[in-house]
Amino acid sequence: MTRLIVTTDSSIAGAIQQAGLADLVIAIERRLVWGRLPSDAELDAFFAPRTTQPQGLHWLDDTPSWRLEASGATNRGFIELLEEYDTVEFWRGPEPNAQLILLWLLDHWRRRSNANPDFAIRCLPLGVGDVAPPQGILYPPIVEIESHELKLASRAWRAYCAPTPQKWRDLFKTNLSWLPQLSPYASALLEELPRLASGLGATEARILRLIARGGLQPFDVFPGRRKHEELDVYEYWEVGALLDGLARCERPAVAGLDEGPFSLEMHNDPVRFDRYKRSQLSLTEFGKAVLAGDEDFRRHNRIDRWWGGTHLTNERLWRWDGEAFSLIAPD
């Protein structure tokens, strides 16, 4: 019996392959929590056999070429390759973006394939830096995916792609327990919408809370540089962009960020990058008022960002009331 594993982390994929737990392990690391989502045409091209897709826009681009060549998978399409295996497992990492990748893949499979291989999911509770190469029985039990659950996954993905967050919020009207951790991850994504009083998402508010302690430099507010039990939605480049947005704007909430923007160009300049790392951060008086909920950051600063299929702008600003667990539509 042949076995294919699809993961959401290339390092985890290498460990699984090395452990000999599958005939082929594929990694897909596309970021779906940040930026505009792919259109249906772009999605089809992403999963289609490779023809003219640029590097980074094909589903096999996060897997080493030697592994693909050894398995005869080079340039193959998602559907045609999966249909050749007796069993397919998704090994999902412990972050909301990995959950979204899983929903995306299941939706695409349901819409494009008539075949029904045995689907299963393993939910990894730790990141790649926290685990040794997989040892099979040390990992969580497999969650089998049936046809009706494929429909639910498709519904969830389409809700995230919708032009407003209302359908995503409506997911909580149904039972989400069929997919482990879908409910807390769905909540974490809603928390990243601007809040009612401050106009900040959860990660932005967390950055201000950390800076308010005093004595922090930029990388002290990045994922992996602090000890807390909160769920990280955004990663390195995204948090850098959010910090930029709090400090390099019309009315800053953060002072002391001596370099930017947070770009690859800055990273490649040792002088600029060193200046950035050494910045001593503090809250402005406005930032303190925003953190306390006495000022609305979005009334003084522009927003132009995507949350799933929702384009957030000052003129079309969806907000989230965490206490009431409800959405507030734009005025």
Nearest in space to 321 (alpha carbons), one of 196, 220, 177, 222: 196
Residue 98 lies in a domain: yes
Q: Alpha-carbon distance 312 to 302, whole Å?
A: 10
Residue 276 lies in a domain: yes
Q: Which of 140, 162, 184 is the last residue of a domain?
A: 162
Q: Which of 162, 184, 218 is the last residue of a domain?
A: 162
Q: Do 7 and 112 fall into the same domain?
A: yes
- Stretch 10-21: mean pLDDT, rounded? 85
Nearest in space to 237 (alpha carbons), one of 38, 137, 97, 89: 97
Q: Which of 59-63, 95-99, 206-210, 254-258 has the lowest mean pLDDT?
A: 95-99
Residue type, 217: Q
Q: Alpha-carbon distance 215 to 316, whole Å?
A: 36
Predicted confidence (pLDDT) per residue in 180-212, tens digit: 678 888 999 999 999 999 999 999 999 999 999
| Torsion angle defined by CA atoms of residues 262, 268, 273 and 274, in that order, rounded to the nearest 10 degrees | 170
Q: Do 7 and 152 fall into the same domain?
A: yes
Beta-carbon contacts of 330 under 8 Å, excluding residues fewer than 6 positions away, are: 315, 316, 317, 318
- Residue 275: how many CA atoms within 13 Å on its side-chain side? 13
Output the pLDDT for position 15. 84
Helix, strand or coil, per DSSP, at residue 182 = helix
Judging by DSSP bridges, how do beta strands 118-123 and 87-92 pair with one another? parallel
Decide: 310 and 163 in contact? Cβ < 8 Å.
yes
**Tokens found for residue 295:** 């000022």
Q: Alpha-carbon distance 5 to 199, whole Å?
A: 41
Q: pLDDT at residue 225 above 70? A: no
Q: pLDDT at residue 2 above 60? A: yes
Q: Which of 139, 162, 185 is the last residue of a domain?
A: 162
Q: pLDDT at residue 21 above 50? A: yes
Which band of pLDDT confidence, cut at 50, 70 and 90, is reported for residue 258? very high
Q: Do 69 and 144 fall into the same domain?
A: yes
Residue 36 lies in a domain: yes
Predicted confidence (pLDDT) per residue in 267-319, tens digit: 999 999 999 999 999 999 999 999 999 999 999 999 999 999 999 999 999 99
Which band of pLDDT confidence, cut at 50, 70 and 90, is reported for residue 92? confident
Q: Do 46 and 99 fall into the same domain?
A: yes
Residue 25 lies in a domain: yes
Q: How many helices (H) and strands (E) does the chain have?
A: 13, 11
For residue 62, what are the domain limits? Answer: 3-162
Q: Alpha-carbon distance 24 to 44, whole Å?
A: 22
Q: What are the angstrom distances between the C-alpha of 192 and each of 3, 81, 176, 301?
A: 37, 36, 20, 17
Q: Alpha-carbon distance 60 to 29, whole Å?
A: 10
Residue 39 lies in a domain: yes
Q: What are the angstrom distances between the C-alpha of 70 and each of 63, 65, 74, 249?
A: 12, 9, 9, 50
Domain count, the chain: 2
State the chain's mean pLDDT as an integer.
88
Which band of pLDDT confidence, cut at 50, 70 and 90, is reported for residue 138? very low
Q: Alpha-carbon distance 156 to 310, whole Å?
A: 15
The rounded percent of the chain whose pLDDT value lies above 70 is: 88
Residue bearing tokens 């002088």: 271
Residue 63 lies in a domain: yes
* Neighbour-count burial for 257-275, b at 16+ CB within 10 Å, e otherwise: bebbebeeebeeeeebeee
